Amino acid sequence: MNELEEQASASSLWDDPTNAQKLMKALSAIRHEVEDWQTFQTRINDVLELAQLEDESFISDITNEIEAIEKELSQKELHTFLSGKYDRGNALLAIHAGAGGTESQDWAEMLQRMYLRWCERNGYEATIIDLTPGEEAGIKTATISIEGRYAYGNLRSEKGTHRLVRISPYDANARRHTSFAMVEVLPEVDNDDEIIISPDEIKIDTYKSAGAGGQNVQKNATAIRITHLPTNIVVSCQNERSLLQNRENALKVLKSRLLDIKRDEQEEEMAKLRGAYKKAEWGSQIRSYVLHPYQLVKDHRTNHEEGNAHTVLDGNLNPFIEAYLRSQYNQ
């Protein structure tokens, strides 16, 4: 940290604004981490001093504080597993309904609510930057920007196909249906030198933002669709009222998708040395949510299970995230 502080105090720092911003961002993150550990150490020292007083009137306070410290220590242990380049940063989470029309589109919307509730429970700021409603119910696709420390590191465990088994509310005969939805989790790319997009590589179209039922949200064409010509990747953004803001968000998503492709290629190369490599795609479900004939949510990678499916769908994902991180660390 001392080295970064010396660089930050140099008179020539802002001669290169891009590098200066990266440096200040890195320094701020390290300062935050150091201050966090210093505060944690102070709490430990305080409870030790309280315990040494041998005053029975403090037993309840000491017990509660020890439990809180143990819980926070467990979280800090998990953070040691998040050492990847992008793990500490923001994330982009995209949900895509599978085949099956209304059933899968409704399932995709249930997943969207689950992740928004998880963000709310854990102090992350979530913004829906693109959404395509279903014809009758649910959503076809949604892209959510999630901001906060370790957002990507935690959520990368959610990448893959999610399977729902339930009695369909859209089936007059009340039959059991199985629905699928794909979840993508991308690291948010911010001025990353790894991904450079040339203006002649993209095609930009504007259109009117559309809500459910095909109604226009506004009269002006502020929605953006960007096509990356070399890869034929198409991204869109229609949440903001500003054309410029939607363009910036769409470019952010495009960079993240290109980075994901690059990293997949690198992992495929590594797979030749370390064994099987499974890309998140249709047919490779990572988790099943069963609502009938019993309740169970099971992660097929870690075998972690939760018997109360409704609490999971209400955002209680941390047990699954923790099980995944520990399984990756122990490989």
Sign of the torsion angle spanned by Cα atoms 258, 260, 263, 265: negative
pLDDT for 296 equals: 97
Q: Which of 77-81, 176-180, 192-196 has the lowest mean pLDDT?
A: 192-196
Domain 91-193+284-329's class? Answer: alpha beta
Q: What is the pLDDT of residue 211?
A: 52
Cis preceding-peptide flag for 169 (omega within 30 of 0): no
Cα 93 from Cα 12, distance rounded (Å): 38
pLDDT (average), residues 76-104:
88
More confident: 259 or 5: 259
In 3-state terms the chain splits into helix, strand, coil percentages (rounded to 5) of 45, 25, 30
pLDDT at 209 over 80: no
Give residue-wise pLDDT tens across range 153-178: 999 999 999 999 999 888 878 888 99
Average pLDDT of the segment spanning 207-216: 56
Task: Supply the pLDDT for residue 304.
Answer: 97
Q: What is the pLDDT of residues 18-75, one digit of tens each?
A: 677 777 777 777 787 788 888 888 989 988 888 888 788 888 888 899 988 888 887 7
| pLDDT reported for residue 96 | 95
Residue that wins the pLDDT comparison between 43 and 316: 316
164 and 291 Cβ atoms separated by less than 8 Å: yes
pLDDT category, 215, cuts 50, 70, 90?
very low
- Provide mean pLDDT across the span 212-232: 71
Token pair for 175: 């039959």
Rounded Cα distance between 310 and 79, Å, is 27
* CATH 3.30.70.1660 residue ranges for the chain: 91-193+284-329
Give the pLDDT score at 25: 72
Confidence of residue 282 (pLDDT cuts 50, 70, 90): low
Enumerate the CATH 3.30.160.20 domain ranges in the chain, comma separated. Answer: 199-273
Burial of 124 (0-12, 13-18, 19+ CB in 10 A): buried
CATH class of 199-273: alpha beta
**pLDDT the model gives residue 214:** 42
Q: What spatial distance separates the first Cα and last Cα of the chain, rounded to whole Å?
A: 31
- The better pLDDT of the pair 116, 199 is held by 116
Question: Is the pLDDT score of 261 beyond 70?
Answer: yes
pLDDT of residue 130: 92
Q: What is the pTM of this model?
A: 0.76
Q: What pLDDT is stored for residue 279 in this prediction?
A: 53
Sign of CA dihedral 248, 120, 72, 35: positive
- pLDDT for the residue numbered 294: 93
Q: What is the distance between the alpha carbons of residues 88 and 18, in angstroms, rounded to a whole number?
A: 20
Lowest mean pLDDT among 45-54, 141-150, 179-188, 277-286: 277-286
